[in-house]
Amino acid sequence: MVILTLNCGSSSVKYQVYDWDKKSVLASGIVERVGQEGSVINHKAPGVADVSIEHECPNHIVSIELILKTITDVQYGVVKSMSEIGVVGHRMVHGGMKFARSVLINDESLATFKELIDLAPLHNPANIMGVEAAKAVLPNVPHCAIMDTAWHQTMPDTSYLYALPHEWYDQYMVRRYGFHGTSFLYTAKRAAVLLGKDPFETNLIIAHIGNGSSINAVKNGCSYDTSMGMTPLEGLVMGTRSGDIDPGIIFHIMKKAGLSPADVEKKLNKESGVLGVTGRWSDRRDIENAAEAGDKIAIAAQELEGYRIKKYIGAYYAALGHVDAIVFTAGVGEMGPVTRHLSTVGLEELGIKVDADRNQKAKCRNAELEISAPDSKVKVYVIPTDEELVMTEDAYALMSGTYDVHTNYRYSFQEPSYVNKQREAGLVKDLEKKPYLASLIAHPRKK
């Protein structure tokens, strides 16, 4: 059976086609510039040359029709017809307090997602458009919603409550929700495998560092606290988001600069973070190049981002009491040794020691790597995330009636013998270019 997963943004649609029987990715890609001029689909499939096709996509329905046409194309498609698609999984950013697990999408659940738009006005509308578009094109196929927020529903009230008037919580659902849940679920389960421990006897601090970044304290295998809050704006310094700031700054700048609430929201979400600090760059690779050339503001942006991550690591260490491993994941977490170094340097008294050479060499999206020093009390791993696999497995289980919350459900990637075929093939090529990666690979310990 073939499973299609969709991640719909306001102007893009990411997709993956997965063969459940062969446990392999058939294709993946993205439609960019939806609703804008110059729409294009970029399609990748193993054994086939990458395909890039310009096609006007005024809305998400046309975009999804284009995806289906591409994956069934005679020349570069991967399925013969749409009838092979057995279920569609959709990423939903915000499930509020309504959803503590992935769900089948029906009229009732879709209506609930629409009620939650106020909690995620930048994300949920696009997610909902994608669901409605996909259901219009594939009306007879089960559709499932996999929430970023569901993983964090295990947090205690000391973690999710704000020190605000309680009626705001009662009436307007103001509380910490957290995001990047599918990424944290995947990396938490994989870290437990590498440690050779029962996942529900494992304490972790996981740093998902990308353009959007958050950090998660995992206690006994469940989310205990996380840096993002009611929205994805709180917490770490990010590509374009401010992260933690004094709320008084908002009132001050509105008065001084005459900005409206919408203006400030745009500034904090789109023009802050490392982009705001540097005034030029949100891509950490650009900042790293500038810093290496001696640009002082680029160096300051790097140090600010690393220092914020380090403060959260220290806080979550205190909250957990005992930590088995620190995990870095997502684009910067997987490929950014400078950020990893700045986030962990000076934490030796906590038993966190990173090997500088291993950290510098650890740039690989196809293997799980260990960068901690041999005498480090706390393991430090770099684990490439796989949110699409979580979406795929949840969608299949929901469709087949075997799904349950992660505390009662075992994923395929929790097995020590689990192998991602695409990454295994990619690693062979990586090792040809970088043979030293072999010495960094983290192998599962025996329980």
Tokens of 350: 């906590």
In the numeric block, which tokens belong to residue 21?
């029987």
Distance of CA 357 to the CA centre of its chain: 27
Specify the amino acid at residue 362. A
The rounded distance, in Å, linking the Cα atoms of 254 and 251 is: 5
> What is the DSSP secondary-structure string of 144-173?
EEEESSGGGGG--HHHH--SS-HHHHHHH-
Name the DSSP letter for residue 10: S
DSSP character string of 401-447:
T----TTS---GGGSTT---HHHHHHHHHHHHH-GGGGGGBPPPPP-
In terms of Cα–Cα distance, which of 68, 85, 86 is closest to 77? Answer: 68
Q: What is the CA radius of gyration of the chain?
A: 22
Bridge partner residues of 24 (DSSP): 19
Distance between CA 304 and CA 168 in Å, rounded? 32
Which position among 21, 73, 118, 148 bears the catalytic label?
A: 148
Ramachandran angles phi, psi of 18, nearest 5°: -125, 130
Burial class (CB in 10 A: 0-12, 13-18, 19+), 409: middle
Token couple for 328: 């870095």
Location of structure tokens 């994300």: 123
State both tokens at 361.
Answer: 């060499």
Angstrom CA distances, 366 to 68, 254, 423, stand at: 28, 46, 5
Give the helix/strand (H/E) hosting 115: helix 107-115
What residues contact residue 2 under an 8 Å CB cut-off, 6+ apart? Answer: 17, 18, 19, 20, 26, 79, 84, 85, 86
Report the DSSP beta bridge partners of residue 329.
208
* Residues 31-49: b if buried by 16+ CB within 10 A, e if exposed: bbebbeeebebebbbeeee
**50 belongs to the catalytic site:** no
User: Which residues carry out catalysis?
Assistant: 148
